[in-house]
Amino acid sequence: MTSVIEVSHLTKRFRDTVALDDVTFALEGDTIYGLLGRNGAGKTTLMSIVTAQSFATTGKVSVFGEAPYENARVLNRVCFVRDDQAYPSSATALHAFRIARLCFPNWDQALADRLVTDFRLPLKTNIKKLSRGQRSAVGAIIGVASRAEVTFFDEPYLGLDAVARQAFYDRLLEDYAEHPRTIVLSSHLIDEVANILERVIVLDNGRVIMNDAADDLRNRAVVITGDSAAVAAFTAGREVIHRQNLGNVTAVTVLGGMSPQDRAALAANNLEVSPVTLQQLVVRTTQDAPRSTAAA
């Protein structure tokens, strides 16, 4: 499949911090990506630069094979509503959707109306006066109903209740099945979105530390639990990314799959093995890294 977005050696500096550090990746068409990482990892900055709302310090971005900056042919096919999106003064959700309908060629009004019902979104209230969740809903509805070929969601669930979040994921998947496109879900509620992601890109301190198929990541690590000495013996020489002790019981997260021999050894030593969720994997691999700062 061909890439719709190519990012190469992208670096973004703000005074003394490096928001993005030599980021290179490609996004393929008709795929749902998770853009995961901690607060300040660079997720919003990255989406902002790819959609030409901000500029890279160095590096190159190409969208549908062209530079996106001031390029209406490209921008027309892209949608990025940020989590702290500003709206025109005293605009209501109704105003925002009317404008979106003008701007996005594939806008589906029926879909937008259905989402308004799902989210119980008040249409005639000033957006500034809406609750955090309702404001998120406005952005999420624009993202889904725009049906842009590449759609970025910037933490679309912020402040949404569980019912509304489920409605968002359900509608997004339903619509994706009928109208495949490239969707990038920036999120730190990883477990919640894990099931709908096909590929996962993890940013940490402005660097891409994982870029894999979601299924591969699910089998990437396991937790071995049991008697401390037996765990230590089994995990010797393996890549340990996390260790937790409770009395003489130890739980160790190790990278790599378990071979049949491994399984036999585990059973013989009374060790338990359990899979690591995507969220745990991301947490374990991003929790200890220090913040990077630019060299003076």
Partner 1 sequence: MNRVVNVMKMQLVNRQTYIGMPLIILSGAFLLTVFVVVLIPTDELKFAGGAAAAPLWYFLVVGVQALTLSFPFSQAMSITRRDFHLGTLLTAVITAGVLAVIYLAISLIESATGGWGVNGYFTVPGLSDNQLAIAPLSYFVIAMLMFLSGYGSAAVFKRWGALVLTIILTGLAILLTLALLLSVRSGTWDVMVNWATAQGMLGMTLWGLLLAAVLAAGSYLLVRRVQL
Counting contacts by CB under 8 A, is residue 71 touching partner 1? yes
Instruction: For residue 147, give the 3-state DSSP assignment.
Output: coil
Counting contacts by CB under 8 A, is residue 75 touching partner 1? yes
Counting contacts by CB under 8 A, is residue 89 touching partner 1? yes
Q: Cβ of residue 148: shortest distance to partner 1, in angstroms?
A: 7
Cβ within 8 Å of residue 286, ≥6 positions away = 37, 38, 41, 202, 204, 209
With CB under 8 A as the contact rule, the residue among 13, 95, 188, 284 that binds partner 1 is 95
Region binding partner 1 by CB under 8 A among candidate stretches 77-85, 208-216, 235-243, 246-254: 77-85
With CB under 8 A as the contact rule, the residue among 7, 81, 214, 278 that binds partner 1 is 81
Counting contacts by CB under 8 A, is residue 124 touching partner 1? no
Counting contacts by CB under 8 A, is residue 78 touching partner 1? yes
Render 250-289 in DSSP notation, one character per residue.
Answer: EEEEEESPPPHHHHHHHHHTT-EEEEPPHHHHHHHHHSSP
Closest by CA to 122, choosing from 107, 108, 144, 137, is 137
Alpha carbons 187 and 122: distance in angstroms, whole number: 25
- The tally of CA atoms less than 13 A away on the side-chain side of residue 19 is 19
Counting contacts by CB under 8 A, is residue 99 touching partner 1? yes
Q: Which is nearer to partner 1, 104 or 176 (CB)?
A: 104
Q: Which residues are 28's β-sheet partners? A: 3
Counting contacts by CB under 8 A, is residue 62 touching partner 1? no
The string over 168-188, giving b where at least 16 C-beta atoms fall within 10 Å of a residue's C-beta and e elsewhere, is bbebbeebbeeeebbbbbbbb
Counting contacts by CB under 8 A, is residue 31 touching partner 1? no
Region binding partner 1 by CB under 8 A among candidate stretches 27-35, 100-108, 163-171, 279-287: 100-108
With CB under 8 A as the contact rule, the residue among 25, 80, 157, 176 that binds partner 1 is 80
Q: Which is nearer to partner 1, 151 or 286 (CB)?
A: 151
Q: Cβ of residue 129: shortest distance to partner 1, in angstroms?
A: 14
Phi, psi of 49 (to 5 degrees): -75, -40
CB atoms within 10 A of CB 90: 10
Binding site for partner 1 (CB under 8 A): 48, 51, 53-55, 70-72, 75-82, 85-92, 95-96, 98-100, 102-104, 139, 142, 148
